[in-house]
Copies of this chain bind each other. A is one copy, B any other.
Amino acid sequence: MRRATVGLLSRKQQPRTVATWHPRLFHSKGNHGSAEALGTVAKLPEAEPVAPLKPRQNVSLADIQERRAKAGRLVAMTAAYSDSDMFKGPSVGKPKARRWDHHISPEAAVREPCVLKQAAKHLKKPGIISLGGGLPCPEYFPIESLTLRVPQSPHFSEAATRASGQDLHIGKYDVASQKSEYDLSIALNYHQATGSAQLLRFVTEHTELVCNPPYADWRSCLTVGSTGSLEQAFRLLCNGARGDSVLTEEYSFSTALETAAPLGIALVGVRMDEQGLLPESMDEILTNWDAGERGGARKPHVLYTVPSGQNPTGATQGEERRREIYRVAQRHDVYIIEDEPYYFLQMQPHSASSGGPVKEGVVQAGAPEPESVDAFLGSLIPSLLSMDTDGRVMRLDSFSKVLSPGTRLGWVTASEQMIERYIRHAEVCNQGPSGLSQVVVHKLLDETWGHEGYLRWLMNLRVEYTKRRDVMMAACERYLPGEIVSWSPPVAGMFAWFKVDPTLHPDARNGRTALDIEEEIFNLCIDKGVLVGRGSWFRVPEEPYPHKVTLAEKSTKEEPNEIFFRATFAAATSENMTEAIRRFSEAVKEVYKL
């Protein structure tokens, strides 16, 4: 087990050196229910210095519990400043991240901090009255309280929740009355662009439990979800006028293509196999890059990748694959955007399939379902962030696929330098996520379930998605013509990816292109009553270089002779999913005249 819990050192065993974490304890005003606390700093009561533990791989639930118990009550009033360093464990012995000044875009480089938020530093003076920030008074927030009906961990089903769920209450002044560390008077007012200290603490600890980045100065920042994070990351790292290009899987998330194109960023497709992006293809592209041949585009300095349950292919990079990709990135000074919406939708291995071999090297066939939280954490493929000794990874996390997309809530993790630049942009492009979403998610995950309960929720999702995947795979085995259609049972995510062989089409020799056949199958699917995704929607164009506009010569490369379809097993009922695969199969057979 890679992430087995390391037992706590007893107080006596701990070396009495000064803690490196939690360096700032400023005065907070501690005024309740007033909007005057803009920019005060989240405060934990003065605790005795916590001795650093030895550098080590893992952080356990017990470590976090102990740390919280020592720190005491979190005091973070309206718009209080906070950062992950206030909540992280010791980072003694870890190196500092590299600097990325040479990668940062001109736009991101010149951003100045918000002058009004800076001024709020004066609010730490005791007794000061603020006529500074234009924050409304909570008296005028028309919600007195919120009550949520939620599952009691680990009884997560809707039926159990209706029968025996718990009602959580969020009042407007729960902080003043010491009922909670977070309330509506704070959540409904402005926040810092990092989000609230209360929820930032939770995601910082969660990131430590799951990824424990191996460098010292990592930070997290709450976001409005990974769609927005990706655009921010592109604007932070890339500049169309500089001729920037970004590597990504040759079949990539269509929204990523749509995000990059208007910014003048050329996406460059890297070849893939069953485990996703091929490091040797990445290395080859980078080694042989010729800006002249590429319409003046600079050698890519960024990789955008979805390591787990990649969208659209469903491919998942195994641990060794990830390490190779990281090494290639190091070799070529490439910064990595690790987009992981499906990380916790890693499933049990699928036993066998007519469509493809069992994926040794990604997950072990026959592995038992993890029963403990530690076993669950140990079963997860290590993230790129967990290998990131250079601080060259920005990981995008999201609650969309594991709690609900409607929260519009996620977080990013990267080195302090990159998070600081990210926050400067967030201050002007969204001011951080909805406070209502934050307080609801905090009440559920932090105050009610805790880290363990939340991990159990994720374990429950693993079971549910495994079932759904297996229903689709059974339908595939039953209906799809294996001689024409091939697939691999996905081990993570929401998507299956079907490869259709264009060379077996009766008109293959009569000039019928793969794209023609793809379209014919897609249209027939609609006629028969099933919507699937077309592979061509996701394909990174061969010649995407916007810098090439002055070149008269056009590429003579042919369209790829490939046909793919994407299908999700996340949404439909078992019956509908089975029927949908049957219809898809009928469409393929009809087009292939079987």
Contacts and interface: CB of A to CB of B under 8 A. Distances in A.
A57 interface: no
A136 interface: yes
A577 interface: yes
A349 interface: no
Contacts of A464: 139-140
Interface string A397-421: 0001101111111000000000000
Given A115-B254, A146-B148, A156-B142, A128 B434 contact: no
B408 A431 contact: yes
A35 B407 CA distance: 16
Interface of A: 34-36, 107-108, 110-112, 114-116, 119-120, 122-123, 125, 127-137, 139-151, 156, 158, 161-162, 165, 172, 187-191, 224-225, 227-228, 230-231, 241, 254-255, 258-259, 261-264, 311, 400-401, 403-409, 427-440, 444, 457, 461, 464, 494-495, 526, 529-533, 537, 567-573, 576-577, 579-581, 583-584
Given A110-B261, A144-B162, A526-B122, A137 B430 contact: no
Contact of A408 (B156, B255, B433): B433
B533 A116 contact: yes
Contact of A537 (B115, B400, B403): B115
**How would you classify the secondary structure of chain A's contact residues: helix, strand, loop or mixed?**
mixed
Contacts of A495: 134
A147 B146 contact: yes
Nearest to A312: B134
B531 A129 contact: yes
B409 A259 contact: no
Contacts of A438: 406
18 contacts: A36-B572, A107-B263, A120-B531, A122-B526, A122-B531, A129-B531, A129-B572, A130-B571, A130-B572, A133-B568, A136-B400, A143-B148, A143-B440, A144-B161, A144-B165, A227-B431, A408-B434, A434-B436
B131 A532 contact: yes
A110 B313 CA distance: 27
A429 B224 CA distance: 9
Nearest to A131: B567
Contacts of A129: 529-531, 572, 576-577, 579-580, 583
B437 A437 contact: yes
Contact of A444 (B116, B142, B165): B142
A366 B530 CA distance: 67
B143 A34 contact: no
